[in-house]
Structure 1
Amino acid sequence: MNATSTDRLLALAGVFQAVALVDQLAHRGRSGVDETALKASIGSLYETDPANVAAVYGGMDGVRLGLKSLIEHLGRRGMDPQHPIAYYVACSMFLEGRIHRSNTLVQRLTDGISTAIAKAPMFGTDGERTLAHLAEVYQQTAGEAGPRIVVRGAPEQIKIAGAADLIRTLLLAAIRSAWLWRQCGGRRLTLLLQSRRLRQEAGELLVRLNRDHS
């Protein structure tokens, strides 16, 4: 893939956005989640043949929350490993690498997403049955690729019916964006070595998006 620095930034923002939504959901419940960002992140799972990277998220605006989260959590020396966002990002990238190296898991992931796409016209892209299926795809791929991601939050929110499926779907979306980021030339070491530049580029893109909407 002939990717630009903006392509890499958008894909990385996609990772940060999906895990930021996991954090919102785990602490505040569905009512405290950015619904626009949620739609874009779940929608990214259905974009298997996009025209460009921005199209994965329905346009650059689709990762606005991710850009903000990236700026907030990517410090001068990388990320604070104690923060849940940093933990989720690191785990998503690690699991993506594990899945990528397993032909069996890649095929399982591909088949699972294809099934979700086929079911979407009947059950919706974010319907209860569809989310349950995507959560199962996550368990059958990421769940077998490595250590389980432990989501931190309010137990009363995480235990709400459907919350676990939505959280797993969002973690799958984070892995999908991590896959895209790697395809665009991104590497985990980049977060440490180029954190300042990434934050600057994210800030500049946010300014541009705000200007376009003013």
Structure 2
Amino acid sequence: MGKNFYSIMLSLAGICQSIVLVNQLSETGECHSKSFEICIDSMLNLYPTTVLSIYGNKEKNLKLGITTLMSLLNVNAILKCKNSIKMIRYIFNLITLENRLENNIKYKNILFKELSILIQQHKNRVYTYDLLADRLAQIYLDTVSKLGFRIQVSGSKKVLHNIVIQNKIRCILLSGIRATMLWKQIGGRRYQFVFYRNSIFHYADMILKKINDTKYS
């Protein structure tokens, strides 16, 4: 059970890393660049051996997601942060989208096929992260956007009218759906947010302390 909670925590951190990047992009047009690249890389590994392998086998690559997860599991922190409710809504919207995708064989297969093609092309000709983001955004439009449910991203109207930002947000939402798939595959369920909140918080706190240890690399 301990190992399972660890994996569940990591996958939730992956989800949280996605939604906090979406929030940053929608508000300012910018986001944590390294975490953005890690989310893109997570989409280029279709056959992971572990949850952590999707994120470069380094817990520190999920630091932003872990800190966000901990804040969303802390009732007092939620009350103090105006964006917490919005990010929680994003999480449950991602779960809804993942459910729809899982039940739609057509678009699920298209998604897998398009990602496989992109991965092969990336191997033959290394793409920049900006180009990968554009390609992943188009895959999102070709699949997820046709599932009959859309995540309403709120933020600066000026920022959200920028097509580059729109594509980055779609790309990150796709990585969030991927993380949600992993979360469900390893036993993640909605009720855990209520009944196992303390256990998940414990593992997140333990890993964050290890990441922050100067001896940890």
Question: What is the root-mean-square deviation of aligned Cα atoms in Å?
Answer: 2.2
Counterpart in the other structure of 1:136: 138
Counterpart code for 1:54: L
Shift of 1:60: 1.2
Match of 1:126 among 129, 132, 139: 129
Counterpart in the other structure of 2:5: 5
Counterparts of 1:50-199 in structure 2 under 5 Å? Answer: 50-58=48-56, 59-76=58-75, 83-121=85-123, 122=125, 124=127, 126-128=129-131, 130-199=132-201
Q: Deviations over 1:77-129 (max 9, x none)?
A: 9x78972211111111111111112211210110121122123243615233x
Report whether the alignment pairs 1:49 with 2:47.
Answer: yes
Q: Contact 1:76–1:195 at 8 Å: present in 2 too? A: no
SS of the residue 1:188 aligns to: coil
SS of the residue 1:163 aligns to: helix
SS of the residue 1:108 aligns to: helix
Q: Deviations over 1:152-179 (max 9, x none)?
A: 1112222224111110000000000000
User: What stretches of structure 2 of length at least 5 have no aligned partner?
Assistant: none
Q: Percent identity?
A: 26
Q: Contact 2:70–2:205 at 8 Å: present in 1 too? A: yes
SS of the residue 1:162 aligns to: helix
TM-score scaled by length of structure 2: 0.87
Cα distance in structure 1, aligned partners of 2:209 and 2:177: 27
SS of the residue 1:50 aligns to: coil
Shift of 1:50: 2.0
* Aligned residue-pair number: 208
Cα distance in structure 2, aligned partners of 1:188 and 1:93: 9
Shift of 1:145: 2.1
Q: Contact 1:75–1:196 at 8 Å: present in 2 too? A: no
Shift of 1:192: 2.2
